[in-house]
Amino acid sequence: MKAPLLYFTVAASLLFAATLVADDAQLLAGKWSVKKVNDEGQKYTQFVEIKQDKFDFQIAGEDDQVGFVAKGDFKLEKLGPFKAAHFFHIKAGQSASNLEDSDEEYVSIYRLDGDTWMLASYFDKEREQKPALEVYQRVKSPTAQTLVIDEIEMADVPQGATWFVCFDVKTPDGASHRYHVDGKEYDKKRVTIPVALEVPKMSAGKKCTFTLQLDDIDDDACGDEPDNRSTGEFTVNERGSQSYKPEDNWRYTIRWHLK
């Protein structure tokens, strides 16, 4: 009679552990942050956002400028008596528009206590990063604000003489907003375009995707086959900017703020 009882006990324990991990997966959904200081005394913030079996990771400096981005797959596991977060199939880079595949995987023992997520990071193997206990706090959903795309500064354009611009931005909920001024032409390689495009229902931490198009014919600037098209994304903060280089002779910077 002891053997069946033992099997039942083991099975029940495994089922209970799986239930705990599944519960944690639901509780971890959302965005988390931890403030840190590097060896040079510079302050920065790490953000990790969990969406089902995916994660987005960012490092931002004191000026809120994002300097490192990683994303990939995410799952929770039981390692003996411990619960572990497994980050794998990772792509990383200096911006969301410039990610490369990484062979690295990270496994961190964790403890979840309400809005506090404690991770024992970089203990899984020998790494450049020092092992650390990272205490993340849940990022509360902020009050909706209006995103203002202030300007697009062209440092170089792939157009020769006169050209026209069309800029579309899409929010996480799928809403699209466009900047295009009929008949407004440009004839310089370096120019700052005062966009002043307002996008409602936005807040810090949300991501926007965009399409920027150039053409020497005004009617074609917002069409399906422009002379030049660039796509990308950026993460909204209180006031920020991000630069892009879609072609060798095309460089530009988008600037924005929340109000």
The C-alpha atoms of residue 98 and residue 233 are separated, in whole angstroms, by 10
CATH number of 145-258: 2.60.40.150
**What is residue 146's predicted lDDT score, i.e. its pLDDT?**
94
Residue 128 gets which letter from DSSP? S
Distances (CA, A) of 12 to 7, 15, 23: 8, 5, 16
**Token representation of residue 68:** 């490192």
The C-alpha atoms of residue 107 and residue 90 are separated, in whole angstroms, by 13
**Token representation of residue 97:** 């528009």
The mean predicted confidence, pLDDT, of the chain is 88
CATH fit for domain 2-138, picks 2.60.120, 2.40.128, 2.60.40, 2.30.30: 2.40.128
**What is residue 4's predicted lDDT score, i.e. its pLDDT?**
45
**What is residue 9's predicted lDDT score, i.e. its pLDDT?**
36
**Token representation of residue 56:** 């987005």
Distances (CA, A) of 48 to 129, 135, 174, 196, 227: 17, 12, 22, 30, 38
pLDDT digits (tens, 9 = 90+) for 137-185: 999 876 789 999 999 999 999 988 899 999 999 999 899 999 999 999 9
Ranges of the chain with pLDDT below 70: 1-22, 142
List the domain boundaries for the chain: 2-138, 145-258
**What is residue 140's predicted lDDT score, i.e. its pLDDT?**
81
**What is residue 18's predicted lDDT score, i.e. its pLDDT?**
45
The C-alpha atoms of residue 48 and residue 121 are separated, in whole angstroms, by 13
**What is residue 25's predicted lDDT score, i.e. its pLDDT?**
86
